[in-house]
């Protein structure tokens, strides 16, 4: 039977070998945290390598994602479908083992980490999802949702502001199934974070007191190289159910390297062949690179106990299903990510009702109406807002707040935490069982930008709701008026962006976001009222295509006007004015450029025929993204400067969003 030290050394050996072979990577963190990882995965982790998607598995997040060989080693050694050849291909093109853990590559990797602080925030989302799901489904004597979220993090994660946002909220919500293990090794790329010699320190926080202030259970000063001390700390943390725990483990980065341990030299570079050989000798690891003895594999294997753990849960779930068949079926549906059987028909019926009402309302209000229509159909919705619920209109009639003592609700009061909210939502999505949506003013999507990018990168279904979408916000002025945000959101690969022009398009955009399973959506709504647009049944069906002919003319158009959101009404009025002067004008509403771009060539040609080169796009945002639709002969009416503080009506006139100006723009391209 292999000792704990031998098992941990397998991680160290694989990590330094893979980094050395790749000639790049970060060996220090995996070598320093190997002892902690061995204890957690050998003694506590509830998982099944044969089924990485088992619903009640513990979640493990490596927030300091540069140490990716740690999680790859763990997955390989415990028996996941990640072979030794995959480890040899570390950091190589199309391998399962990229430089940072990437969701969807190696089985068992729960989230993409790399941008520091987002892993711990994703973990907060996973723990939140577990708590809410348990609150909604567990019954007396039937804890079918009962698992922990473990997260490793380092100094860099704690320096990033997002960690404050997430950990503060985790304390407020009492996420007792969340256990964070802090790798306190005093080293980052620039050296010793607490300073050394003539180098001043840059991370002098009292981390235990910081987390105590958040309402966490804190276990300080644990020797991260003493397995028994680590085990005792984890046991203590697991026993605390009313608050999250952080275990502060003091470790030596690059542990085992005679000349580089404890130094920044081993943080982000290969040790070098000579130092690898010396490290092998120092650790007593006599095996060749990438060679793991059978007894070490046997000591690590989690296949047998993982299969038993899942089988035991299956038995418990069967008992739950016998007593609560409806709840069991619903939990299975939600964890599978399937929409309710009646979704399509009921959603279409709601949209038809919106068409019938023909309301002139702000699209933010239309969004709330859509939530009231769709919410009762979707118990998996988990909403929230960054302290702007009354402005974002994200609370619908069926909302119930998630509280630390009653987590059975469906709405999270995130507070002023736009970045934290967005990354928490990604964690909720990754956990499964929910479709999260979270809202703020469009301007403050800037604070959340990297979490949006991560959602798109991971191809996960987070729904980001943004209101107050233009200079139409008015008196709050340019600090609050988005200008460049809509086009830059559209530039994010795999991000679907919708800016509807009325209540009907708002309802359709929500339906599309709910049905999109392979990526996130941004739904962008107005503060001001938007007029209802009359449409045929075919036009309503075409909204989901992202762009469609809203108002047409007889014969070939003289010009085409393309618009989104609040500017669609302006485009229609300009077309009417031009029509009175004998011009044949087509108006295209394009609520989603990415959805339109995904259509087949024949459809796009039917909407924007190549023969018509006189084109004008109208949107209260930076103009850059529209030139691909209007071409060199076209024009764009937009906003290529920052806004001003004034009532919305005055601002639209000041910035040229008038019928006369759009008419002039069209005449200018004819």
Q: Rg for the chain (alpha carbons), in Å?
A: 28
- Note whether 227 and 35 are within 8 A (CB): yes
Q: What totals of helices (H) and strands (E) does the chain contain, helices first? A: 27, 20
Closest CA to 367 of 593, 525, 531: 525
- Note whether 275 and 261 are within 8 A (CB): no
DSSP 471: G
- Note whether 341 and 317 are within 8 A (CB): no
State how far the Cα of 469 lies from the Cα of 473, in Å rounded to an integer. Answer: 7
DSSP 262: T
- Note whether 80 and 108 are within 8 A (CB): yes
State how far the Cα of 510 lies from the Cα of 375, in Å rounded to an integer. Answer: 11
Could you give the 3-state DSSP secondary structure of residue 218?
strand
Residue 585 corresponds to which tokens in the numbers above? 């004008």
DSSP 133: H
Closest CA to 433 of 573, 331, 301, 312: 331
Residue 418: active-site member: yes
Residue count (the chain): 670
Give me the DSSP letters along 551-571.
Answer: E--SSS-SEEEEE-TTHHHHH
- HSE at residue 391, side-chain half, CA atoms within 13 A, is 14
Angle at alpha carbon of residue 75, lines to 72 and 80, rounded to 5°:
130
Could you give the 3-state DSSP secondary structure of residue 580?
helix
Helix (H) or strand (E) holding 154: strand 149-154
State how far the Cα of 533 lies from the Cα of 526, in Å rounded to an integer. Answer: 16
Give me the DSSP letters along 302-322.
Answer: -HHHHHHHHHHHHHHHHHHHH
Cα→Cα distances 535→223, 360, 510, 540, 557, Å: 68, 15, 19, 6, 19
Using CA of residue 276, residue 277, residue 283, residue 287, what is the dihedral sign? positive
Could you give the 3-state DSSP secondary structure of residue 219?
strand
**Which of 102, 265, 310, 418 is an active site residue?**
418
- Note whether 304 and 311 are within 8 A (CB): no
Catalytic residues: 418
């Amino acid at each position: 039977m292999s000792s704990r030290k031998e098992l941990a050394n397998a991680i160290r050996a694989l990590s330094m070998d893979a980094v050395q072979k790749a000639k790049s990577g970060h060996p220090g963190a995996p070598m320093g945290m190997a002892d902690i990882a061995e204890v957690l995965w050998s003694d506590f982790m509830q998982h099944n390598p044969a089924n990485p998607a088992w619903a009640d598995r513990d979640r493990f997040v490596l927030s300091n994602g540069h140490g990716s060989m740690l999680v790859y080693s763990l997955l390989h050694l415990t028996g996941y479908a990640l072979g030794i050849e995959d480890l040899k291909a570390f950091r190589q093109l199309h391998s399962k083992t990229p430089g940072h853990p990437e969701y969807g590559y190696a089985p068992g990797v729960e989230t993409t980490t790399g941008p520091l602080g987002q892993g711990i925030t994703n973990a907060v989302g996973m723990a939140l999802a577990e708590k809410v799901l348990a609150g909604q489904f567990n019954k007396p004597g039937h804890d079918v949702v009962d698992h922990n979220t473990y997260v490793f993090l380092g100094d860099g994660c704690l320096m990033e502001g997002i960690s404050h946002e997430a950990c503060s909220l985790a304390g407020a919500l009492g996420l007792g199934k969340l256990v964070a293990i802090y790798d306190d090794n005093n080293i980052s790329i620039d050296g010793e974070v607490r300073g050394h010699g003539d180098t001043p320190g840059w991370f002098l926080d009292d981390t235990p007191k910081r987390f105590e202030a958040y309402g966490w259970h804190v276990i300080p000063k644990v020797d991260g190289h003493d397995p028994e001390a680590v085990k005792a700390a984890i046991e203590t943390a697991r026993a605390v159910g009313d608050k999250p725990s952080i275990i502060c483990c003091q470790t030596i980065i690059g542990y085992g390297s005679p000349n580089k341990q404890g130094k920044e030299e081993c943080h982000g570079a290969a040790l070098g062949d000579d130092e690898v050989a010396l490290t092998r000798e120092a650790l007593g690891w006599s095996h060749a690179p990438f060679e793991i003895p059978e007894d070490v594999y046997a000591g690590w294997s989690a296949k047998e106990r993982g299969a038993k753990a899942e089988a035991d849960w299956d038995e418990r779930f069967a008992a739950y299903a016998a007593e609560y068949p409806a709840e069991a079926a619903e939990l299975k549906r939600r964890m599978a990510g399937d929409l309710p059987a009646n979704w399509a028909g009921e959603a279409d019926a709601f949209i038809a009702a919106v068409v019938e009402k023909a309301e002139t309302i702000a699209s933010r209000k239309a969004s709330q109406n859509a939530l009231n229509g769709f919410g009762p159909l979707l118990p998996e919705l988990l909403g929230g807002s960054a302290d702007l619920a009354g402005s974002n209109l994200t609370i619908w009639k069926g909302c119930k707040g998630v509280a630390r003592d009653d987590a059975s609700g469906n709405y999270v009061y995130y507070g002023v935490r736009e970045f934290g909210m967005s990354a928490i939502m990604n964690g909720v999505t990754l956990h499964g069982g929910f479709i999260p949506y979270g809202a703020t003013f469009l301007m403050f999507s800037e604070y959340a930008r990297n979490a949006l990018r991560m959602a798109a990168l991971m191809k996960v279904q987070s729904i980001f709701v943004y209101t107050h979408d233009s200079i139409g916000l008015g008196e709050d002025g340019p600090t609050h008026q988005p200008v460049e945000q809509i086009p830059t959101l559209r530039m994010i690969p795999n991000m679907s962006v919708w800016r509807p022009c009325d209540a009907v398009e708002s309802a359709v955009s929500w339906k599309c976001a709910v049905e999109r399973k392979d990526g996130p959506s941004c739904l962008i709504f107005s503060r001001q009222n938007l007029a209802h647009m009359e449409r045929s049944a075919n036009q309503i069906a075409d909204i989901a295509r992202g762009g469609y002919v809203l108002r047409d003319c007889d014969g070939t158009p003289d010009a085409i006007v393309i618009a989104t959101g609040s500017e669609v009404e302006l485009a229609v009025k300009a077309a009417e004015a031009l029509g009175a002067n004998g011009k044949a004008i087509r108006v295209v509403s394009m609520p989603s450029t990415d959805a339109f771009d995904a259509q087949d060539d024949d459809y796009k040609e039917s909407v924007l025929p190549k023969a018509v080169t006189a084109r004008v796009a109208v949107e209260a945002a930076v103009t850059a993204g529209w030139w691909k639709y209007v071409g060199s002969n076209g024009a764009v009416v937009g906003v290529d400067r920052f806004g001003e503080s004034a009532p919305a009506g005055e601002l639209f006139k000041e910035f040229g969003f008038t019928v006369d100006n759009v008419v002039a723009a069209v005449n200018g391209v004819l």
